[in-house]
Amino acid sequence: MARARDIAGALCAEGHSRASVDVTAAAIEAVCARTARAMPMNVLVGLNVRRDDDDDDDDARTYDDASAELIRAYVEANPRVFAAFAATAHAVEGKGTRCSKFARGASEDDVAKCAAWRRERMDEGRM
């Protein structure tokens, strides 16, 4: 089991994210949500590895090994879409850094590639 912050630390150390560990972890949490979308195209690009009843405490949430590997693969395969989520980072009083579940700024081509990558790797239950 790994927390988003642990995955983010590894991604930053490996050069897959140019953002800080805090921002990368917040972007991971956003990408893992069921409703993560690229705007204005309104295309689902999230990994849907969080349950709706997950604790709201992002620092306490953990991901199993398969989900952690899916997150890493997503960031490596879709860096511009991931960066669009990271670009939404903002501070929330008492909760730290958060990112929106609505990414803006990725090109239509990058979003289409991300959506295709997602369809190839995710089972029907997560789509």
Residue 37 covered by a domain: yes
Q: Is 92 helix (H, G, I), strand (E, B) or coil?
A: strand
Domain range spanning residue 43? 2-121
Question: What is the dihedral sign for C-alpha 45, 52, 64, 87?
Answer: positive
What pLDDT score does 59 carry?
Answer: 60
User: What is the pLDDT at residue 8?
Assistant: 93
Query: What residues pair up with 98 in beta bridges, in sequence order?
Result: 90
**Taking the model in full, what pTM does it have?**
0.87
The share of the chain scoring above pLDDT 70, in percent, equals: 87
Domain contains 126? no
Instruction: Tell whether 49 is covered by a domain.
Output: yes
Run of H or E residues at 38: strand 37-39
**What is the amino acid identity at position 105?**
G
The amino acid at 100? S
| pLDDT number for residue 126 | 59
Q: How many domains does the chain have?
A: 1
In a domain, 127, yes or no: no
Q: Does residue 25 sit within a domain?
A: yes
